[in-house]
């Protein structure tokens, strides 16, 4: 999966992190084996809550650049900090690069604690898909559908690609339309995540 990030000025606007009067702090992140310039406000509350002590020390020593919080936000601009909780950065040691994001617990660098070949990508362009999936979780209407108890509001539907597509079809409407998404038929096992009005398919892309 490849991410195309906007030029720096537009990326800053999309992040919504800097005020009109504040000069942004610029940093460089290695994403998909490319150096990408991002910007953030060092005084923003989200940074202090999500910037680990290890990252702070590394930044002070010049051994680290963009905080993982800033990188994750650039990859998922449509989500709030709480809604990003289920996701971690997938990091490739060979290229020293963030290759995307996956479901899982984060380490002190915001990377996935458990190594995985899985990547997540957005599959819907309408809130009704996430809404129908979340409603089904509340009703207990679909097997294998679980609401995460971490405050993110995420709902996960896991299973084979066929099972997940069938479950979406049974929900009808926009969910049924999303059932045929290429992202849902690209892998054998799929975790479909509904959070913040968006739906992500997480599966092995290697």
Residue-wise pLDDT tens digits, 12-62 = 433 444 444 568 888 888 999 999 998 888 777 666 666 666 666 655 544
Q: For the CA atoms of 179, 181, 185, 188, what is the dihedral angle to 10 degrees?
A: -70
Straight-line distance from the first to the last Cα atom of the chain, in angstroms, rounded to the nearest whole number: 10
Whether residue 141 lies inside any domain: the answer is yes
Last residue of a domain, one of 72, 87, 116: 116
Domain count of the fold of the chain: 2
Please report where in the chains the tokens 């992500």 appear, as a residue: 200
Q: What is the pLDDT of residues 78-97, one digit of tens each?
A: 898 889 999 999 998 888 89
Last residue of a domain, one of 116, 140, 175: 116
Running DSSP on this structure, what letter comes out for residue 40?
A: E
Whether residue 131 lies inside any domain: the answer is yes
Whether residue 132 lies inside any domain: the answer is yes
User: pLDDT at residue 9 above 60?
Assistant: no
Whether residue 2 lies inside any domain: the answer is no
Q: Find the range with the poorest average confidence among 1-15, 39-53, 73-87, 166-180.
A: 1-15
Q: How far is CA 113 from CA 41, 117, 198, in A?
A: 27, 13, 24
CA distance 84 to 78: 10
Residues 27 and 48 in one domain: yes
Q: What is the pLDDT of residues 104-121, one digit of tens each?
A: 998 888 899 887 778 888
Residues 21 and 84 in one domain: yes
User: pLDDT at residue 2 above 50?
Assistant: no
Whether residue 149 lies inside any domain: the answer is yes
**Domain that includes residue 159, residue range:** 122-204
Whether residue 3 lies inside any domain: the answer is no
What global pTM score does this model have?
0.76
Q: How far is CA 123 from CA 4, 16, 127, 130, 147, in A?
A: 16, 24, 11, 10, 19
Whether residue 1 lies inside any domain: the answer is no
User: pLDDT at residue 72 above 50?
Assistant: yes
| Sign of torsion over alpha carbons 76, 54, 149, 115 | positive
pLDDT at 47: 64
Confidence of residue 11 (pLDDT cuts 50, 70, 90): very low
Last residue of a domain, one of 68, 86, 116: 116
**Lookup: tokens for 142:** 């679909």
Task: Say whether 149 sits in a helix, a strand or coil.
Answer: coil
Identify whether the C-beta of residue 163 lies closer than 8 Å to the C-beta of residue 143. Answer: no
């Amino acid at each position: 999966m490849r991410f195309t990030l906007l030029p720096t000025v537009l990326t800053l606007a999309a992040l919504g992190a800097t005020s009109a009067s504040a000069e942004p702090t610029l940093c460089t992140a290695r994403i998909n084996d490319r150096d990408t310039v991002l910007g953030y406000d060092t005084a923003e509350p989200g940074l202090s809550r999500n910037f680990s002590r290890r990252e702070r020390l590394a930044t002070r020593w010049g051994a680290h650049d963009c905080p993982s919080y800033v990188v994750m936000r650039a990859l998922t601009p449509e989500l709030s900090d709480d809604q990003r909780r289920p996701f971690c950065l997938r990091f490739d040691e060979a290229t020293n690069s963030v290759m995307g994001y996956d479901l899982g617990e984060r380490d002190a660098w915001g990377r996935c604690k458990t190594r995985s070949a899985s990547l997540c990508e957005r599959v819907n362009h309408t809130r009704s898909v996430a809404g129908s999936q979340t409603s089904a979780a509340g009703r207990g209407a679909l097997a294998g559908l679980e609401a995460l108890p971490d405050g993110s509001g995420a709902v996960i539907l896991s299973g084979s690609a066929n099972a997940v597509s069938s479950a979406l079809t049974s929900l009808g409407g926009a969910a049924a339309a999303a059932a045929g998404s290429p992202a849902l038929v690209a892998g054998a096992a799929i975790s479909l995540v509904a959070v913040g009005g968006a739906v992500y398919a997480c599966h092995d892309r290697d």
